[in-house]
Amino acid sequence: MTTILDVQGLTKTFEMHHLGQSLPAFEDLSFTLHAGEFLLLSGPNGVGKSTLLRTLYRSYLPVAGHLWFHSREGVIDMANAADIDVAHLRRTEIGFVTQFLNARPRVAAEDIVAEPMRLAGYDRQEALEQARHWLAAFGVKPDLWRAYPTTFSGGEQQKVNLARALILPQRMLLLDEPTASLDKGARAALVARLAELKAQGVAMIGVFHHPGDVAALIDREIPLKPKTPIEETADVAL
């Protein structure tokens, strides 16, 4: 099996300067993700599932440990890789799918969806055709394709977001509750697309509010356990 990501001793703590306090998120996590594998992060709310995903994407900086990503261009430790490399890998090999769309004013839905393909060098027409295909697949009506998603409902924005996030197959996909607030049709389309990508060898790691949605895809589960609570620094007298 081809290794995609090798996580070793990963630790994340938030240093809150204004509180003079450190908030531990998770500690000494190790696991390996292979091509075509689907890992589910499980555990109660607040246990650090989304924090872990963001750390894997390097939106959060880990304080210790390694994130060996087996890129097409070589193995690199994302935990301390140069920003330009992380930016490059996000464009070419690592995708992050959230439930939130970062819509920009005056940019049409189909252009937002086509953008990752255009950035990857595809010509405008081909990118737009693919964009329309995926907008249709996720159930966005054709009369909205030229409209600006800033005015869309939450559910419609999410469909645009998914189409954009999944238009280009990546080597690794990080999924942060992508099914939340989707209607049944869009959820089915999403699961079908994820299954297709998995069959193509895309490695995935995700957080799902209703893991039942993707039960058929899950290979392994990584249970995150609640940490011991932060030491009380002082009793607050009321």
Smallest separation, CB 155 to another protein (Å): 24
Cα separation, 30 vs 68, in Å, equals 11
Smallest separation, CB 14 to another protein (Å): 7
* Choice between 117 and 182, CB closer to another protein: 117
Smallest separation, CB 93 to another protein (Å): 10
* Choice between 31 and 148, CB closer to another protein: 148
Smallest separation, CB 15 to another protein (Å): 7
* Choice between 27 and 115, CB closer to another protein: 115
Smallest separation, CB 117 to another protein (Å): 13
Q: Report the alpha-carbon angle 170-173-176, nearest 5.
A: 150
Q: Which long-range contacts (CB under 8 A, 24 or more apart) does 214-221 make?
A: 214/38, 214/40, 214/179, 216/191, 217/38, 217/191, 218/38, 218/39, 218/40, 219/37, 219/38, 219/39, 220/37, 220/38, 220/39, 220/40, 221/39, 221/40, 221/41, 221/42
* Choice between 106 and 184, CB closer to another protein: 106
Encoded tokens for 55:
């750390």
* Choice between 15 and 126, CB closer to another protein: 15
Cα separation, 79 vs 61, in Å, equals 7
Encoded tokens for 80:
């301390």
The footprint of another protein (CB under 8 A) covers 14-18, 54, 58-61, 71, 73-74, 76-77, 80-89, 104-107, 115, 118-119
